[in-house]
Structure 1
């Protein structure tokens, strides 16, 4: 009897040890509800166990080259959370007016959320728009509260409400032909045809892999401007040796390079982000973008 009791106690102790020190992470959408409540917004679960929030700047009325820039083209703030054991990492990009930069930066610094880059994406837009990349580590609910406090210092609007069953607006663009020319499948979001093209190699920071949904995939957006034309914007995610080949490919096809910079600080391999702009025939631009993608180590085309 004594031996049996000892064995039972040892087994019970092992079970307690396992449940205490090797918890099974819960990355379901339901597990992120406290983060949604703290941020005051709903997010969506993305591949790579990333929970992402979109914060489009619908309040901004930005014009470039006669085009009124839609939020989904180049005015989309976003935040992406990923669990790291019992904590989380958050990365994101806040779209800000010039007078919002200083108060937001001060609040984020007070909340121990770091800025990893501050820069333009466009050139010659009116009014001026600045983009602030951020990164934080810790309790995801605490991070969400801190970010909510910083966002409250901006004019970022509350989440839009939609009536159930409402059909999304039609897009004035031949999406099939654009996809065939670019070689990748896109999705229509808020009247914008959007593409996300992951790199082929693994991107890491420390010991953690950074999934494409956390901002390390090439982003390409088409906004219809009438008669088969579209304004395009986004950013190529590049290694150093790819930078100038991509510039040459874009410029050869009449696509303007508007910025190049870092978005992160400690990723491996180190990445450069190249932003672009054009407003021309959508199929022609898709062919030009395909030429640029082809000189990068991106995942292979999906559409033939």
Structure 2
């Protein structure tokens, strides 16, 4: 083989090798494709595909709500639209979304999400001075696309089902100043000391995390607490759970399973490690039953 031919063959070989390396290093633009028509069918909502991000987002405007904020009449386009976005993620699909809810819808919709494999990641307000009061429940999940879309469809259906429902009638009110319950059985159930605070009874369970190289704990606000008031038969419990991210779904499921209402899920700090989330709750019923629900939620944390 003459020198010219050898050089030509060598150049072709190098070019082929470089091409193979470049191909191997080039990232896939789309990890997978979405059956957008099927997602629309299962969610019962219309969507739009963002081809640049390979994300299909379905939306449900809350046009059934007549909301005013600080006296300003709002529309669905001003931030009152429920949505869920789907995207391929390796060998599975990821979903994230935000549900627009009135107060009486929050817990039925949350239970529907949790019972169908959708995670609830935050619950808070987006506005002040809104009438009627509107809260926003953020969701997430990963798995098989059809299962996720089916679950989201059930969430949307529950929102529609409860959109015209009246707020459930509350039991006859009582004055917490006249609390008469016996704290001893509650202390036995929970397994932690209960202190009298004013006329009510409170239990506080500390946790720790790190901020700026320092340990912060119970007295700095990293704690789970519950206040019990009323009588043994007709009581309320309200408080705050401090949870790791990995513990949130388990605590939510136990509390909702016991009929405890979740009122807020959010962070109290930034930059801490491990990250601590806080969920606020409210329950009504027999004092011992409320204590058992609180304890059961605590127990899920020790198992996580």
**TM-score above 0.5, yes or no:** no
| Structure with larger Rg | 2
Normalised by the size of structure 2, how large is the TM-score? 0.42
Normalised by the size of structure 1, how large is the TM-score? 0.42
Q: Which has the higher helix share?
A: 2
